[in-house]
């Protein structure tokens, strides 16, 4: 998968600073060539005029329906880009402020051609430090975008007090404890914090996990701050094979046809940083993580996972896991977006590596008893 073109998806609510970040990427001397896909909501591509830098190729998709048509367009555009391979090193997709990132992320799982050529590198969500708290109340998409993120850029920190900043970070942590979080003014983050993160590279995530766990214990000292439901872990990542099907994935009001094939692939993250690990628990969005020492029976685990995402998929935004299966020297790695699931056997467990499974589910109103209870049954 190393020769696949990395794709960074930039999302964030209206006005959060996506274009500002993109302009930074397109003007900074980074020695990389990026192909940019701007997914503009509405008739006229205003953003296109704002994007500077003639060196890069700017593609624009104008489509009225963000949720439904994005995926088709994205596939077509990525396929077109692939014919110009060699002209660029990476792809950046900027989504409109209202977009549900799910269909965009799913593109990298479900379309076989896209999957062969490109890999989702990370979902980067811009959050407006001043307005995020309000949007979390009135705009479900804002919360979804945070939940999906591998990297959160908390932008416009110049507009809030330190106390407000702490508060908004805690809100973000309560929704998504797994994303790497960076504070920014005018999206001034080092580009390496955003691009070519390999956020879905499981090994990389495991490497940083020790810090994550330490920090987490720390978080437990604060009483009113709970760490989003699960504890530990996260991670994950990619490949094919699969069990499972198609499905569907968007929100209830989306009428798409997601029937496209199986396979899918994609996602995820990192940890956190700054030492700001506390979280204000979100009543609606949570994450649940499960850790299990010892091997799982594939004949029980795989059907359980498939069934779970079929049943709870509308509420499960993302899931991922590394699993130790009985009589299997390799690690089974899965990831999913709503009901679309992708899993594969990857490298072997190392000698000094405990055969331990870790699973993470991030979503809305997750039924913790169903998820944990079901897992305990198949793990026993
Ligand atoms: N004070 C302040 N303003 C900022 C910062 N970052 C961006 N802005 C301003 O906020 C406005 C919106 O920024 P954009 O980058 O266009 O945001 P966007 O997310 O692309 O917006 P849409 O394309 O409308 O969704 C612009 O006027 C920016 O100059 C920041 O850190 N602080």
* 207 Cα: distance to centroid of ligand 1 (angstroms): 34
CA distance to 9, 88, 213, per residue, from 272 (Å): 19, 30, 10
Neighbours of 104 (CB within 10 A): 25
Q: Which of 10, 14, 15, 42 to mutate to test the pocket of ligand 1 (most atoms within 8 A of CB)?
A: 15
pLDDT surpasses 80 at 353: yes
Mean pLDDT of 44-70: 44
pLDDT at residue 130 greater than cutoff 70: yes
Task: Write the CA distances from 229 to 264, 278, 365, integer angstroms.
Answer: 27, 12, 12
Segment 277-283 mean pLDDT: 73
pLDDT at residue 218 greater than cutoff 60: no
118-128 sheet: strands from edge to edge: 57-63, 34-41, 90-94, 5-12, 118-128, 151-155, 180-183
Q: What is the pLDDT at residue 87? A: 76
Structure tokens at 74: 């994205």
pLDDT of residue 349: 92
Q: Give residue-wise pLDDT tens across range 250-263.
A: 333 333 333 333 33
**Using one digit for the tens of pLDDT, what is the confidence trace for 333-351?**
887 788 888 777 888 999 9
Mutate which of 19, 27, 44 for ligand 1? The one with the most ligand atoms within 8 Å of its CB, which is 19
Q: Which residues line ligand 1 (CB under 6 A)?
A: 12, 14-20, 47, 97, 126, 155-156, 158-159, 185-187
Q: Rounded mean pLDDT of 276-291?
A: 77
Strands 330-337 and 340-348: antiparallel
Q: How confident is the model at residue 40 (pLDDT cuts 50, 70, 90)?
A: low
pLDDT at 158 over 60: yes
At residue 73 the predicted structure's pLDDT band, cuts being 50, 70 and 90, is low
Residue of minimum CA distance from atom 13 in ligand 1: 17
Which residues share a beta bridge with 360? Answer: 289, 320
Residue closest via CA to ligand 1's atom 15 equals 17
Q: In angstroms, what is the span from residue 185 Cα to ligand 1's centroid? A: 10
The pLDDT assigned to 39 comes to 65
260: left (phi over 0), alpha (psi -120 to 50) or beta: beta
Q: Are 74 and 61 in contact (CB under 8 A)?
A: yes
* pLDDT tops 60 at residue 229: no
According to the model, what pLDDT value does residue 199 have? Answer: 55
What pLDDT shows up at residue 369? 94
CA dist 341 and 313 (Å) reads: 10
Q: Which residues pair with 59 in a beta bridge?
A: 37
- DSSP code, position 13: S
Average pLDDT, rounded, for the chain = 72
- Distance from the CA of 33 to the center of ligand 1, in angstroms? 24
Is the pLDDT assigned to residue 70 strictly greater than 70? no
User: Could you tell me what percent of the chain has a pLDDT over 90?
Assistant: 26
ipTM of the complex: 0.97
**pLDDT (tens digit per residue) in 164-211:** 999 999 999 888 888 889 999 999 999 888 887 765 544 444 333 333
What is the average pLDDT across 259-283?
A: 45
Could you tell which of 14, 20, 93, 186 is best to mutate to test the pocket of ligand 1, judged by most ligand atoms within 8 Å of the CB?
20
Q: Closest Cα to residue 103, out of 132, 63, 50, 137?
A: 63
| Nearest ligand 1 atom to alpha carbon 22 | 15
pTM: 0.71
Percent of the chain with pLDDT over 70: 68
| Rounded CA separation 176/199 (Å) | 15
CB 202 within 8 A of CB 236: yes
Q: Which whole-number Å values give the CA distances from 307 to 103, 109, 110, 151, 341, in the listed order?
A: 21, 19, 19, 29, 11
What is the distance in A from the centroid of ligand 1 to the CA of 52? 15
Rounded Cα distance between 268 and 247, Å, is 20
């Amino acid at each position: 998968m190393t020769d696949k073109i990395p794709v960074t998806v930039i999302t964030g609510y209206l006005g959060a600073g996506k274009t500002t970040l993109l302009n930074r990427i397109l003007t900074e001397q980074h020695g990389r060539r990026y192909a940019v896909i701007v997914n503009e909501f509405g008739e006229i591509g205003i953003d296109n005029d704002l994007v500077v830098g003639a060196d890069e190729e700017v593609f624009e998709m104008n489509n009225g329906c963000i949720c439904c048509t994005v995926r088709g367009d994205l596939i077509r555009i990525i396929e077109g880009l692939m014919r110009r391979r060699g002209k660029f090193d990476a792809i950046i997709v900027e989504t409109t402020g209202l977009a549900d990132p799910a269909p965009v992320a799913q593109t990298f799982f479900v379309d076989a051609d896209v999957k062969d050529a490109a890999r989702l590198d990370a979902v980067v969500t811009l959050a407006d430090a001043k307005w995020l708290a309000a949007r979390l109340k009135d705009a479900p998409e804002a919360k979804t975008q945070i939940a999906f993120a591998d990297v959160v850029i908390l932008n416009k920190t110049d507009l809030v007090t330190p106390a407000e900043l702490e508060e908004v970070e805690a809100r973000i942590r309560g929704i998504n404890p797994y994303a790497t979080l960076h504070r920014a003014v005018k999206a001034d983050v080092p580009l390496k914090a955003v691009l070519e993160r390999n956020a879905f590279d499981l090994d990389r995530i495991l490497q940083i996990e020790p810090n994550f766990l330490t920090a987490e214990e720390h978080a437990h000292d604060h009483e009113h701050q709970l760490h989003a439901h699960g504890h530990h872990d996260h991670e994950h990542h990619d490949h094919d094979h699969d069990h499972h099907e198609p499905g569907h994935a968007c929100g209830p009001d989306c009428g798409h046809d997601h029937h496209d094939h199986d396979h899918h692939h994609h996602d995820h993250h990192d940890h956190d940083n700054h030492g700001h690990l506390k979280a204000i628990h979100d009543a609606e969005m949570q994450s649940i993580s499960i850790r299990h020492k010892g091997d799982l029976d594939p004949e029980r685990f795989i059907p359980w996972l498939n069934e779970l995402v079929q049943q709870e998929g509308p509420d499960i935004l993302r899931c991922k896991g590394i699993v130790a299966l009985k009589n299997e020297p390799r690690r089974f790695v899965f990831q999913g977006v709503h009901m679309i699931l992708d899993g594969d056997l990857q490298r072997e467990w190392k000698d000094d590596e405990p055969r331990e499974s870790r699973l993470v589910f991030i979503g809305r109103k997750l039924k913790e008893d169903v998820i944990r209870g079901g897992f305990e049954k198949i793990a026993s």
